[in-house]
Amino acid sequence: MHDPNNTEYISVSEFVTTLYGITDKNRAPGDIPSIAYSEGWLEAQDISGADNNIKRSDAARILHLYIREKLQLKDLPDISGAEVLKDLYDCRICANHIAQVYLRGIMKPITIQSSPDRDFLIFDSKAYLTKNDSERILSALERFFDF
């Protein structure tokens, strides 16, 4: 779960390099973001902002493209289950990326308590991803691999 008290954030480059290392353990370190871009799961904005902290929406997009392009997993055809996220459509371009990783259990929602007996879920796409969040994401991805 996202920890707002943990302010140790992860950069786009660190996130992508860690993600790349899951499937390509034997590749020598180099310009991993450029390699990921050439493989189709990173966008130009990720290259130019590689040293910036990564937002949850960008992590969702990168993860979605990674599982689609690198792992060859098809998109889930029905994303209506992700509509429990109250902010899913705040960014219409991001909605499918967020839904795909949320429904697969790769990225978790944030629970907001609106009253003592009622909670609601948000994705909090503008929040920055922490290193702890990143570790949980990578752990969730492991079930898609045969190690």
Please compute the mean of the pLDDT values over residues 14-18 and round it to a whole number: 91
Residue 133 and residue 59: Cα distance in Å, rounded? 10
Q: Which residue has the higher pLDDT, 121 or 30?
A: 121
Q: Which residue has the higher pLDDT, 2 or 144?
A: 144
Please compute the mean of the pLDDT values over residues 11-32 and round it to a whole number: 79
Q: Which residue has the higher pLDDT, 33 or 106?
A: 106
H or E stretch covering 23: helix 12-23
Domain span at residue 27?
A: 12-144
Nearest to 139 by CA among 112, 108, 109: 108
Does 20 map to a domain? yes
Does 5 map to a domain? no
141 pLDDT higher than 70: yes
Task: Give the model's pLDDT for residue 110.
Answer: 94
Residue 77 and residue 82: Cα distance in Å, rounded? 12
Does 3 map to a domain? no
Which pair of structure tokens corresponds to residue 107?
């990225």
Does 6 map to a domain? no
Does 126 map to a domain? yes
108 pLDDT higher than 70: yes
Task: Give the model's pLDDT for residue 146.
Answer: 59
Does 89 map to a domain? yes
Does 97 map to a domain? yes
Does 121 map to a domain? yes
68 pLDDT higher than 70: yes
Please compute the mean of the pLDDT values over residues 110-124 and round it to a whole number: 88
Task: Give the model's pLDDT for residue 147.
Answer: 46
Place of tokens 């992590």: 59
1 pLDDT higher than 50: no
4: confidence class by pLDDT, cuts 50, 70, 90: low
Q: How high is the mean pLDDT of the chain?
A: 89
- From first CA to last CA, the distance across the chain in angstroms is 25
The angle subtended at Cα 42 by Cα 36 and Cα 47, nearest 5°, is 90
Count up the domains in the chain and report the number. 1
